[in-house]
Each structure stands twice: as structure tokens, then as C-alpha cells.
Copies of this chain bind each other. A is one copy, B any other.
Amino acid sequence: MHQTRRIALLISCAILCLAAFAPVATAQQRNPLPVPNIPGYQTLKCDFHTHTVFSDGEVWPTTRVAEAWRDGLDAISITDHAGYNPNKEDVALKLHRPYEIASPAAAQAGIILIPGVEVMEGLIHANLLFVNDPNQFLGLSFLDALRKARAQNAFVVWNHPGWRQTPQWFPIIAQAYDEKLIQGMELVNGSDFYPEAYPWIAEKSWTILCNSDVHSPMPAVYRGGTRPITLVFARTADAAGIREALFARRTAAWANGEVWGTEEHLRALWQGAVKVENSTISLAGSRRSTVLRLTNSSAFRFRYRVRNKPEWLTLREGQVDPLGAFGAQLSASRQAPAGRHNVEIELEVTNFHVAPGRNLQVRLPLVVEVKPEAN
């Protein structure tokens, strides 16, 4: 009985902190959320847009760190508003405090904390990352805030270009762009993807970002699979590495089970995650069919359809689950020539997007031995 009780207690403590004094958030279980590194770079999982009670969010800064650790992230930024602070009657208007409060927890958890602040004019919002002191941006106009950010070599992101409006090349954005004040754009914010804004990533040479903009507590179970994540391909797993990668446009967006990035980066993710377990196969028996086995060592889900294959081979669309393996039925038609063939099957990974309207294409090289048809 005593034994049982202690285990039950332990289990609960593992997921939430119920102690009478518990000023520090202590989620204890982490979902590692593995993603492959790519040649030359570590792949870091980041969320550069979160809020706390210091602007219009609902949680204490340490909570963002605990959630990040639980959810498998490497880095976050707390980007409370400079200027929209509805709690200021109760919570001091000190915008450096979220970073300061969260820092010790981040150090303990091994989470990289990026200083940040959000500025706005109407529905046009921007995140200023790597700023010196977020309090400096209180009272500034939107463009002046961006100019000050540039003077600090901050990284500036146009947030949610389609929030409550259809994305357009708004005058204030045009002005900021002309002054070279913007380096990145949220292609995804929360659950929203902005197809109309997608072409600007290439046209303006902007960096892709994908952030949660979370205000409430972040739920542990997130429908759509994982919380919105900016994948950063960094030389080093630290703030400097993230900064360099952001300016160098080495990022991808991951949300709602879909990934957006460059062809090179997304191909490297596929290659790092998916293996063919049986690339030499034999098609024999009355059905001349077998199971092609694809394993996935990452937390991505890969959905594919077949783009190119020998006509005599049958293979349907499929999906390889996160940390799973998929058995794809492969069979030879009656017209299949007996013998040993080097075959290349081209797949379209339908949830990996490399440009507007274009998905990642990958090749599976196989050796297929077709036996004469049995009766």
C-alpha cells in the first residue's frame, strides 16, 4: 500500500507541480522530439514568440521554460508586448523581467533563452530578437522601434502577416523593407499558415519563422502533433549559433504536421530520418508482392505519394509515422519482366514544402528481383 502510494505520487509529480511552495516550474518529463541534424549543422527546435503575464499572457516566465523542456525544444524567446500591457495595474511594467526571471530555470533545463520583445502598430506586429533591453522600445513608433533594433543588430521578424486580415504588402511593411529593417517573417503563427505571404520568403530573401505566439498555458498534448516550431540549422547550439543561422536564413517551419523550408534542408531531414530496411527485395509467389519497410528515426511524420516508378511495379501512397516504421505493399504486375532490376522510385513528400506549390521529391533506389509468375 505504502509502495503503491509512493509510485502514484511520483507519477503525478512528474507532470505537474502541486507542492505548497513551488515558485519554480518543474515539469519533469521531457519528450525529446528527435529530429536529425543535417550535414554541417545541428537542428535546433525553437519557438521565438511567447507571452507571459508581463504583457497579455497568462503564465509566469518560468512556465515557458518548463513547457519548452517538456516539449523537447532547444530554445525559446519570451516576447512580451512593449505597449500592450493590460495587466499593468497588477504587474509591473518592467519588460526585462521575463528574461531575468526565466534565466535560472533555462540554465538548469539547458534551454537557450533569446531576449526579445514585440512591437506593433495596429495589426502589424514585429518581434525584435536579441535586443539589449526591451524597455527601450516602450513608447516608440513601430518604425522607430525597428530602427533602434537594427542599431542593436537585433533580428526583426514580421509576425503573423495574415492576422485578422489578408496578407498584403502593407505600406508600413514596404517602408520597413525599403529601410532593410526586416529579416524574417512568420510563415506560420499558431495554427495559421499564410499562403498569400509565402512567396515573399523567396522574393524578399527573408528567413522563415514558425512560432506559437502562445498566451495561455501550452497544453502538453497538442492537436496537430507538435506545437509550432522554427527549426534552426545552427553551427553551435547556443544563442550565437541561433543568431548566425537566423541571419543566414537556415531555418524551416514545422507545424500542423507540415514542414516548410528549402529543398536542400528538407531533403537532408528526410535523408537523416528515413531508411529503407530492405532495399533488395524479391517479388515471388502467386501475387509477386512483398512489403517494403521504411523506418523513421525522427518525430516528423512523412506522407508520400509515388511520382515515378517502372510501370510494372505497384506501390501506393503511404505515410511513415513518427519514430515508426511503415510497411508499403510492393507488387509486380503480370507484365513485369523476370530478372534483377535496379529501380529508382521517386516519391513526393506531400507534407514537406520547398516552395509555393512545390513539395519535396526524393528517390528510393531499390534492387528488385522479379520471379517468374507462379500459377
The smallest beta-carbon distance between A102 and chain B, in angstroms, is 11
Contact B59 A217 (CB under 8 A): yes
The interface-forming segment of A134-142, A263-271, A318-326 is A318-326
* A55-112 contacts to B (CB < 8 Å): 56-60, 62-63, 66, 69, 84, 86-87, 89-92, 94, 97, 101, 104, 108-110
Residue A13 interfacial (CB < 8 Å): yes
For A34, the closest partner residue in chain B by CB is B323
Known: A12-B223, A13-B191. A66 touches B25 (CB 8 A): no
| Cβ contact of A1, chosen from B3, B219, B278, B326, cutoff 8 A | B3
The reply to whether the CB of A27 lies closer than 8 angstroms to some CB of chain B is: yes
- B324 near A32 (CB under 8 angstroms)? yes
Cβ of A151 within 8 Å of any chain B Cβ, yes or no, is: no
A-B contact pairs, 18 of them (CB 8 A): A10-B318, A10-B319, A11-B224, A11-B319, A14-B318, A20-B125, A20-B163, A28-B327, A30-B295, A30-B327, A53-B91, A58-B60, A59-B60, A59-B63, A63-B217, A91-B92, A109-B327, A219-B220
With A58-B59, A60-B58, A327-B30 given, is the CB distance from A18 to B213 under 8 Å?
Answer: yes
Q: Which residues of A contact B (CB under 8 A)?
A: 1, 3-23, 25-32, 53-54, 56-60, 62-63, 66, 69, 84, 86-87, 89-92, 94, 97, 101, 104, 108-110, 125, 159-160, 163, 189-193, 212-224, 256, 277-278, 285, 290-291, 293, 295, 303, 317-319, 321, 323-329
Shortest Cβ gap from A162 to chain B (Å)? 11
How far is it, in angstroms, between the C-alpha of A28 and the C-alpha of B294 when the chains are bound? 10
Q: How far is the CA of A4 from the CA of B351 in the complex (A)?
A: 13
A109, B278: Cα distance in complex, Å: 10
Among B7, B191, B193, B323, contact of A18 (Cβ-Cβ < 8 Å): B191
Q: Which of A84, A89, A325, A327 has the most CB of B within 10 A?
A: A327
Instruction: In the A-B complex, list the 3 residue pairs whose CB atoms are closest, starting with the nearest.
Output: A18-B190, A217-B217, A12-B191
Q: Identify the interface centre among A60, A193, A220, A277: most chain B CB within 10 Å of its CB.
A: A60
Please pick, from B9, B101, B192, B216, the residue contacting A17 in the complex, using a CB distance under 8 A.
B216
- The CA of A226 and the CA of B361, in the complex, are separated in Å by 34
Contact A291 to B108, CB < 8 A, known contacts A4-B4, A23-B56, A62-B58: yes
Instruction: Name A281's closest neighbour in chain B (CB-CB).
Output: B108
Q: How far is the CA of A8 from the CA of B319 in the complex (A)?
A: 12
Most buried by B among A8, A26, A54, A193: A8
Give the distance in Å from the alpha carbon of A110 to the alpha carbon of B84 in the complex: 29
**In contact, A192 and B9 (Cβ under 8 angstroms):** yes
Chain B residues whose C-beta falls within 8 Å of the C-beta of A14 in the assembled complex: 223, 318-319, 326
Q: Are A29 and B108 in contact (CB under 8 A)?
A: no
- Please, which residues of chain B bring their CB within 8 A of the CB of A220? 219-221
| Given A326-B28, A327-B26, A97-B90 contact (CB < 8 Å) | yes
* B residues less than 8 Å from A193 (CB atoms): 5
From the candidates B1, B91, B213, B321, name the one contacting A20 in the complex (CB within 8 A).
B213
A28-B326, A324-B32 known; A12 and B224 CB under 8 Å? yes
Q: A8-B224, A92-B90, A326-B28 are in contact. Are A18 and B219 (CB under 8 A)?
A: no
| Cβ-defined contact, B324 with A22, below 8 A | no
Q: Contact partner of A215 among B22, B30, B163, B222, CB < 8 A?
A: B22
Bound-complex Cα distance A11 to B95 (A):
32
Question: A27: which of B19, B28, B86, B327 is its contact (CB, 8 Å)?
Answer: B327
For A26, the chain B residues whose CB sits under 8 A away are 216, 291, 327, 329
